[in-house]
A and B are shown apart, each in its own frame.
Chain A
Amino acid sequence: MKLGVDSLDFLQNAVRESRAIRHMSPHPFRNAPLPEADELDLRSYRGLIEVHPADQVVVVRAGTGIRDLQTELATQGQGLPWVPGPGEEENLDLVTAIGMNLPHLGMATHGSWREWVLGLTVVQPSGEIVHCGSRAVKNVAGYDVQRLLVGARGTLGIIAEVILRTCPLKALPDVAVTQAAQVDFIQRTLPTEFPSLVAALGDAVVLADKAASVVYGVGEPAEASTGWVLTAGRYAIADRVQAKYWQRAKAEFDPSGKLNPGEVQL
């Protein structure tokens, strides 16, 4: 069943009643959906809830597209330091970008989602709504669960609302948005190994972001002794420690395996 979510109540009820849920938007770097899961489309649950330009903080529904968010924030002299990489959907919704911790072209100077997400409203598999973090830019009260959910691919809870740190327009990254292009992988390495990575990839390089030591490429990534690769269509956890703790996290947050089944191969 495919359901469009337009309110927190609707989302809560849908989660309660479903046995298996796929949420987050389609993306080349996601795994193929399982046919038996219900599809929840959060893109109708969009819009700003609060904007605090003087504090450089925004509270926003997670189905909001990033381009739409940027347009709204610009009217307040603010923006998100997100610069989509080649091939990236410019209006990708927050729930997908944050769930995947998607890299971008402003990373070298402005960090990424793990630094920007100050707090979350999350719907748990039981339908319970919980909050973590706060609107303060500095906060060490309790465990940083919001940090754990960035990059968890929607497998530990459904991100419904987000508190984000914003940036004054004049301080946004000075990087041009690149033309759309097909990208099969994103690979990052240590700065010292970046030149040899670029050389090894040769014509496979679509864009080399030297400041962040990141390559966007087509075909197959190169062997590298350090760093990571995000590859289209297959997301499997090879690292033994990651797999062990992801399984433990899943057992705590979603023991019945309801959320985004098949998204991560452990």
Chain B
Amino acid sequence: MDVERGWLAELMGFLRPDQVLTGAAARRGYDCDAYTVDRFPPVAIVLPESTAEVAEVVRWCNLRNVPFTARGAGTGLSGGSLPALGGIVISTKKLTQILEIDLPNRQMLAQTGIANKKLSDAVKAAGLHFAPDPSSQTVATLGGNIAENAGGPHTLKYGVTASHVVALTLVTPEGDVVQLGDRVPGGPGLDLAGLVIGSEGTLGIATEAWVTLTPLPNHVITALVAFGTVREATESVAEIIASGTIPAALEIMDRGILGALKAAFNLEYPVGTEALLLVECDGDSAELVKAEMATVDAICRSQNCLNLETAEDEVARQKLWTARKKGVGAMGRLAPSIVTHDGVIPRSKLPEMLDTVYEVASRHQIGVANIFHAGDGNLHPCFYFDDRDPDQVRRVVEAGEEIMRRCIELGGSITGEHGIGVEKLDLMGLMFSPADLEFQAQAKRIFNDGALCNPCKILPNQKSCVEHKSRWRGMAW
């Protein structure tokens, strides 16, 4: 405690008292992100208001050998911002300014603590938006999106965060401030910004970023399609992609989700519905958008859909999105604990993989519901169970690992958008050989060859890494 009091005095030497939180309630509030399985309270939480203050805190951490972890809104699903043992949290909560909007060049400079949706709100009147749209976008921060290379329903057509951040200001693990990337992308040289994006805060702390702004489409048609079997829905997705049509979004929700929606919000869908497919087509030409939707319509009907409802005006479209947007929240009704996986498979394997998910859940006697980015092949099987029962926990862990192994066998990945964090550390060895992991470690050491900047994340078995004792692994919240 004396050591900690000494720390505080030093931190408060260059930050105001209200920028350093050490109370029990605050430490408890920052002891995990939305991956709540592993928790550890930080010694302190600091709230810098500028890049210079972040750099000063990081330099102080280096001086005192204190581990540090950056944190945005704490919506991460893999424990990427789990505090290090004996470490502090550097929150970007006060870095929320939009610094410059360059409409003619369709770019914006913002601090990284700003919420994702506020970027789009700021330029909506100009007919532009920031395309990555994770489900948590009303609170998830730009910095968190950068750390996780966040996706969202519309990344099928518009791409993930890495495609929309051209340059950033990084406070390096040593506390230097460097500019990476270029407002004019595509140039020669190493893509250092590209390496930092998606590195889960382990290569430094991004404090400002130039993002690209994408024109809002002039024409949008949304369709909600009901199917009598999940396989018909997944076959439709595979056919739509194979036809060369790239909708803006292709999302599936199965009967488990529909049951939760009924319980939580009394939402009803056509009798016999086993899966809903949400399709959105957009573009500047009404004719092309209609033609795309006609292709989708024909494919879904050939797959015996029960019902196909389309909407063009904003209010009606948002109504069709209700099931997708409220589905995750509604799952709280299903069981005391829910874990959401994030596996990815090549899209043509979707029907086969969904069959596997149901078979594995059934064999392990666990409830499963699916709500996911079907067009990207990005699954989110959600197991619901009671984590007070060790046997249920064991079965959930085993089922999760089986599903991840199958994703890898099919040529996919153990995470499409949630990241490795601490959750999937043990699974990295399933996807990559020791030599592959060392190859990644070499890339990490370009920026971070120490043990202070968000340690013990992404790569398993790091030297000098004293990991938290996990309650259980292989899954998210």
Give CA–CA (A245, B178) in the complex, Å.
11
User: Contacts A144-B194, A151-B190, A245-B447; is A124 near B180 (CB within 8 Å)?
Assistant: no
B184 adjacent to A139 (CB under 8 Å): no
What B residues does A169 contact at CB under 8 A?
Answer: 244
B377 touches A241 (CB 8 A): no
B216-235: contact bitstring with A at CB < 8 Å (1 yes, 0 no)? Answer: 00000000000000000000
Q: Using Cβ atoms and an 8 Å threshold, which residues of chain A touch B439?
A: 122, 124, 130, 132, 145
B377 in contact with A137 (CB, 8 Å): yes
Determine if B191 is an interface residue (Cβ-Cβ < 8 Å): yes
Q: Are A235 and B188 touching (Cβ within 8 A)?
A: yes
Given contacts A55-B346, A144-B198, are A134 and B412 in contact (CB under 8 A)? yes
A138-B432 contact given A143-B443, A226-B183, CB 8 Å threshold: no
Question: Is B454 in contact with chain A by the CB < 8 A criterion?
Answer: no
A57 touches B431 (CB 8 A): no
On chain A, the residues within 8 Å of B413 by CB distance are 134, 136, 138-141
Please, how many angstroms separate the alpha-carbon atoms of A115 and B164 in the complex? 11
Stretch at the interface among B31-39, B89-97, B417-425, B461-469: B417-425
State the Cβ distance, A153 to closest chain B Cβ, in Å. 8
Q: Does A36 contact B (CB under 8 A)?
A: no
A-B interface contact total, Cβ < 8 Å: 205
* Docked-complex contact A141 and B377, CB < 8 angstroms: no
A241: chain B residues at CB < 8 Å are 178-180, 192
Which of A131, A139, A190, A227 lies at the interface centre, i.e. has the most chain B CB atoms within 10 A of its CB? Answer: A139
Question: A14 near B: Cβ within 8 Å?
Answer: no
Tell me the chain A residues, 164-200 only, with Cβ under 8 Å from chain B: 168-171, 188-192
**Distance A17 CA – B415 CA, assembled complex (angstroms):** 38
Interface: A28 (CB within 8 A): no
B189 at the interface (CB under 8 A from A): yes
Residues of B within 8 A of A212 (CB): 186
Give chain A residues whose Cβ lies under 8 Å from the Cβ of B402.
none
How far is A248 from B448 in the complex, measured between Cα atoms in Å? Answer: 10
Residue in B413, B437, B447 with the greatest tally of chain A CB atoms within 10 Å: B413
Which residue of A77, A141, A190 is within 8 Å of B428 (Cβ)? A141
What chain A residues lie within 8 Å of B459 (beta carbons)? Answer: 142
Asked if B110 is at the interface of the complex by the 8 Å CB criterion, the answer is no
B446 touches A252 (CB 8 A): yes
Partner of A230, one of B182, B188, B198: B188
Chain B residues positioned under 8 Å from A145 (CB to CB): 195, 439-440, 442-443
Q: Tell me which residues across on chain B come within 8 A of A144, comparing CB atoms.
A: 149, 162, 194-195, 197-199
A139 touches B416 (CB 8 A): yes
Question: In the assembled complex, which residues on chain A have CB atoms less than 8 Å from the CB atom of B293?
Answer: none
B278 interface hit (Cβ, 8 Å): no
Size category of the binding interface on chain A = 35 or more
Report how far A168 CA is from B245 CA in the complex, Å: 8
Report the bound CA distance from A122 to B444 in whole Å.
17
Q: Quick one: CB contact mask for B79-109 with A, threshold 8 Å, 1 for yes?
A: 0000000000000000000000000111000
Residue of A nearest to B170 (CB): A241
CA–CA, A192 to B103, complex, Å? 10
Tell yes or no: A87 within 8 A of B by CB: no
Which residue on B lies nearest to A53, using beta carbons? B242
A131 to B434, CA, bound (A): 11
The segment out of A4-12, A39-47, A64-72, A100-108 that lies at the interface is A100-108
- Is A210 close to B, CB under 8 A? no
B445 within 8 A of partner (CB): yes
Contact with B along A95-127 (1 / 0, CB 8 A): 000001101000100011011000000101000
- The verdict on A138 contacting B183 (CB below 8 Å), with A54-B238, A101-B188, A148-B191 known, is no
Question: Beyond A132-B436, A136-B413, is A248–B446 a contact (Cβ under 8 Å)?
Answer: yes
Question: Given contacts A56-B241, A241-B179, could you give 15 more A-B pairs where the C-beta distance is less than 8 Å?
Answer: A55-B347, A103-B186, A115-B159, A122-B439, A124-B439, A131-B433, A136-B416, A138-B344, A145-B439, A147-B194, A148-B191, A169-B244, A188-B184, A245-B192, A249-B446
What is B's interface to A at a CB cutoff of 8 Å?
A: 104-106, 148-149, 151, 155, 159-160, 162-163, 178-180, 182-184, 186-192, 194-195, 197-199, 238, 241-244, 246, 344-349, 373, 376-378, 411-420, 424, 428, 431-433, 435-440, 442-447, 458-459
